[in-house]
Amino acid sequence: MRGARVRLRVAGALIAAMVLLAIFAPWLTRFDPRAAVAEPLRAPSAAHWFGTDLLGRDVFSRTLYGGRRMLVVAALALLVTVPPGLAVGVLAGYAGRWVDAALMALVDAMLAFPSLLLALALVALVGRGTVQIAVAVGVAGVPTYARVTRAAVLEARSRPFVEAAQALGASPLGVMWRHIVPTVAPTLSAFAGVSLSWALLNSAALTFLGYSGDISAPDWGVMLAEGRAIFRSAPWVALAPGFALSALVLALNGVARELALPPARRR
């Protein structure tokens, strides 16, 4: 459908633009995101596009550098989530029987805790910091990814061409690698985008709560926490990172939604 293709392009363009802004942040702003460069709480102007915060730091500069930090944390979290979630889901869905029951019992036990609460508990165990937050958020996302992978594998196992390959004597590993994995790849790729948006939100929530380890570092969650106390007098301090985070999450979810559609419906 033409509408789906347009939505996919718009969301993809927004993601690409935000990634490029984060990468080229040092060339797009001349202000140090950690240093005071003007009077505190200066309103947006030609000199400071997004104004300044409570310490006189440039909000535009902190938003750009904060995007870089958030994307790195979310990408690391996704790397922690996908491999074990994929392995557990594929093994449980294809092996079945007691293997499926044992793995899903473990997954269900982890799903009994909200992902943010589980991430909070893990951060409390491993300590504060960027890497620790990425690991905690990534581990918290494993059970959901495993569940989705298992459901996709179970659906793929019932396809006629998979049953035909099994009837012809193909090895279990061959069936899994040649038939099941390519079949479930589009679904799991789309859900990886959803997992990335969850990682962004959960990592921002953890830094908002003060688990970043470095409160002076440019980070959207930290900026939201700082802007909350002065929102009535200086709303731009919180609006800039809040809008950036919302736009990126919406774009990621939009791309994931369109990629999950059958190819015929994206044309």
How confident is the model at residue 114, as a pLDDT? 86
CA distance 1 to 265: 5
How confident is the model at residue 260, as a pLDDT? 66
The encoded tokens of residue 177 equal 């690698």
Kindly report, residue by residue over 162-190, the tens digit of the pLDDT. Answer: 778 777 777 777 777 777 888 888 888 88
Q: What is the number of H-type helices and E-type strands within the chain?
A: 11, 0
How confident is the model at residue 167, as a pLDDT? 75
Below-50 pLDDT ranges, the chain: none
Contact 181, 152 (CB under 8 A): no
Q: Quickly list DSSP for 183-218.
A: HHHHHHHHHHHHHHHHHHHHHHHHHHTT-SS-TTS-
**CATH number (domain holding residue 223):** 1.10.3720.10
Kindly report, residue by residue over 241-262, the tens digit of the pLDDT. Answer: 999 999 999 999 888 887 766 5
Position 37 in a domain: no
Contact 51, 42 (CB under 8 A): yes
Position 183 in a domain: yes
Burial (CB count within 10 angstroms: exposed 0-12, middle 13-18, buried 19+), residue 179:
buried
Position 170 in a domain: yes
R_g of the chain computed on alpha carbons: 22
How confident is the model at residue 3, as a pLDDT? 65
Nearest to 89 by CA among 187, 193, 200: 187
CA distance 182 to 142: 21
Position 15 in a domain: yes
Position 43 in a domain: no
Quote the domain boundaries for residue 189: 2-31+49-266
Query: How many distinct structural domains can be found in the chain?
Result: 1
Position 41 in a domain: no
CA distance 94 to 236: 51
How confident is the model at residue 261, as a pLDDT? 62
The encoded tokens of residue 7 equal 């939505």
CA distance 141 to 251: 20
Q: What is the pTM of this model?
A: 0.87
Q: How much of the chain is helix, strand and coil, in % rounded to 5? A: 75, 0, 25
CA distance 110 to 191: 19
Burial (CB count within 10 angstroms: exposed 0-12, middle 13-18, buried 19+), residue 56:
middle
Position 260 in a domain: yes
Amino acid letter, residue 83: P
Position 19 in a domain: yes
